């Protein structure tokens, strides 16, 4: 009888060991392609230092939608960056973070970040991996400290497993946290709008109105909103009056310190612009019509206005007829990429 018990115990131990071995067996992360539309420029992000994998993407996605990255446990990245609006904060001129506190800028869309060199309206973040530190630590956004975030993740049931899947062991540090967030955001490529399919010659036809809008856009807007990303990624002042609610806003000067950069902002990409209202760094315009009226009649000389917006007589603005405004708006709406907005890979649920 005793022999049997010993034998059973031995078998049990062997089975337990096998199970353990299975659990500890670490699968190599599955490489994930970044699909780059053929009409797009080269990728700016160095993927060699952060090779994209399915497991890294999944980890980044969970982190992106996790409120525990904030001090109150409820403000996730996705709180201010909603997919349905190309990852902007719908209904907010300037973003709202923890405890309803207000920031001073309009949440930017998150798309095609792999092709950008610098981030935020004033270029304060010089690398995508560093960008999330700003919202996580900002008092009016997530108001948390990175070491606290890491402690919460280490104490969680799921995260150590997910980090192991993505990186081979369960070490949870800031580099891995930030690289995983980048993995998720890098995959957010929006390049399947009607315009893209037209541009790549995939059989999409634009209406006469849209084509006329594209033509006017190329003449009057594309020196700044250049190329297939619709931005040359430079910092410019497009002649907006200073916003009295935010007198401390200095634009690019906040980063560079140079007076000549006062109130300059990174030229925004106009992709998905139909969805990312309200517009400008402070969300001051609710509609594209208001933006067109501003370009035609609303500019003010505030010291650093882009020379291309001032004619030889010294008057400001881009002359636009009513039809031209309508045509440009019709064209801008061809930049809406519904496949991206509805892509389940990026959805919270």
- Is the CB of 95 or the CB of 164 nearer to ligand HEC? 95
What is the spatial distance between Cα 306 and Cα 11, in angstroms, rounded to a whole number? 79
CB of 342 to ligand HEC, least distance (A): 21
CB of 277 to ligand HEC, least distance (A): 8
**Residue 115 touches ligand HEC, criterion: CB under 6 A:** no
Which listed residue (82, 268, 304, 330) binds ligand HEC by CB under 6 A? 268
Which listed residue (105, 252, 271, 333) binds ligand HEC by CB under 6 A? 105
Which listed residue (52, 180, 275, 328) binds ligand HEC by CB under 6 A? 328
**Residue 291 touches ligand HEC, criterion: CB under 6 A:** yes
Q: Cα-flanking dihedrals φ and ψ of residue 236, to 5°?
A: -140, 160
Which listed residue (52, 114, 136, 180) binds ligand HEC by CB under 6 A? 136
**Residue 135 touches ligand HEC, criterion: CB under 6 A:** yes
How far lies 4's CA from each of 11, 12, 13, 54, in Å? Answer: 10, 12, 14, 47
Tokens at 144, concatenated: 């948390």
**Residue 220 touches ligand HEC, criterion: CB under 6 A:** yes
Residues between 60 and 79 that touch ligand HEC (CB under 6 A): 69, 75, 77, 79
**Residue 114 touches ligand HEC, criterion: CB under 6 A:** no
How far lies 196's CA from each of 271, 331, 341, in Å? Answer: 10, 12, 15
What is the spatial distance between Cα 87 and Cα 157, in angstroms, rounded to a whole number? 28
**Residue 280 touches ligand HEC, criterion: CB under 6 A:** yes
**Residue 97 touches ligand HEC, criterion: CB under 6 A:** yes
Which listed residue (240, 299, 330, 335) binds ligand HEC by CB under 6 A? 240
Asked whether the beta carbons of 133 and 278 are under 8 A apart, the reply is: no
The SS3 call for residue 152 is: helix
Asked whether the beta carbons of 86 and 271 are under 8 A apart, the reply is: yes
CB of 4 to ligand HEC, least distance (A): 58
Distance in Å from the first CA to the final CA of the chain: 55
Stretch that binds ligand HEC, among 38-46, 157-165, 191-199, 260-268 (CB under 6 A): 260-268
97 Cβ contact list (under 8 Å, min separation 6): 70, 75, 80, 103, 135, 138, 140, 141, 142, 143
- Segments of 245-292 assigned E as strands: 265-266
Which listed residue (250, 281, 336, 340) binds ligand HEC by CB under 6 A? 281
Tokens at 330, concatenated: 């019709």
Torsion over CA of 221, 223, 228 and 230, rounded to 10 degrees?
-50
Stretch that binds ligand HEC, among 4-12, 154-162, 262-270, 338-346 (CB under 6 A): 262-270
- Is the CB of 204 or the CB of 232 nearer to ligand HEC? 232
Which listed residue (238, 304, 327, 334) binds ligand HEC by CB under 6 A? 238
- Segments of 178-318 assigned E as strands: 235-236, 265-266
CB of 21 to ligand HEC, least distance (A): 37
- Segments of the chain assigned E as strands: 235-236, 265-266
**Residue 276 touches ligand HEC, criterion: CB under 6 A:** yes
- The helix, strand and coil proportions of the chain, stated in percent and rounded to the nearest 5, come to 45, 5, 50
DSSP letter (8 states) at residue 61: H
Residue 17 marked ligand-binding: no
# chain residues binding ligand HEC, by CB under 6 A? 52
Name the site residues for ligand HEC (rule: CB under 6 A). 69, 75, 77, 79-81, 89, 95, 97, 103, 105, 107-108, 110, 113, 116, 119-122, 131-132, 135-136, 141-142, 181, 185, 220-221, 223-225, 236, 238, 240, 265, 267-268, 270, 273, 276, 279-281, 291, 295, 306, 308-309, 318, 328
């Amino acid at each position: 009888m005793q022999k049997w018990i010993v034998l059973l115990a031995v078998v049990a131990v062997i089975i337990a060991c096998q199970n353990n071995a299975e659990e500890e067996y670490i699968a190599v992360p599955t490489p994930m392609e970044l699909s780059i539309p053929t009409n797009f420029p080269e990728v700016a992000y160095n993927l060699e230092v952060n090779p994209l994998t399915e497991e890294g993407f999944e980890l980044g996605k969970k982190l992106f939608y996790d409120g525990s990255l904030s001090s109150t446990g409820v403000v996730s990245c996705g709180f201010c960056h909603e997919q349905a609006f190309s990852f902007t904060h719908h209904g907010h001129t300037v973003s709202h973070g923890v405890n309803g506190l207000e920031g001073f800028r309009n949440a930017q869309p998150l798309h095609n970040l792999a092709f950008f060199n610098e981030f935020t309206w004033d270029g304060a973040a010089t690398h995508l991996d560093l960008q999330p530190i700003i919202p996580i630590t900002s008092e009016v956004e997530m108001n948390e400290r990175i070491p606290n975030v890491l402690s919460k993740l280490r104490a969680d049931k799921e995260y150590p497993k997910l980090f192991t899947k993505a990186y081979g062991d369960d070490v949870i540090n800031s580099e891995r946290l930030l690289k995983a967030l980048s993995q998720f955001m890098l995959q957010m490529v929006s390049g399947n709008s009607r315009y893209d399919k037209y541009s790549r010659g995939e059989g999409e036809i634009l209406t006469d109105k849209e084509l006329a809008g594209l033509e006017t856009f190329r003449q009057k807007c594309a020196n700044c909103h250049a190329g297939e990303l619709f931005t040359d990624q430079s910092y410019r002042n497009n002649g907006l009056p200073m916003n009295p609610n935010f007198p401390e806003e200095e634009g690019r000067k906040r980063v560079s310190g140079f007076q000549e950069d006062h109130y300059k902002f990174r030229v925004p990409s106009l992709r998905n612009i139909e969805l990312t209202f309200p517009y400008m760094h402070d969300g001051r315009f609710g509609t594209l019509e208001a933006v067109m009226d501003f370009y035609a009649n609303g500019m003010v000389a505030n010291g650093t206005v882009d020379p291309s917006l001032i004619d030889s007589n010294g008057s400001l603005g881009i002359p636009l007829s009513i039809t031209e405004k309508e045509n440009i708006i019709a064209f801008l709406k061809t930049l809406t990429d519904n496949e991206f907005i509805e892509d389940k890979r990026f959805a919270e649920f």
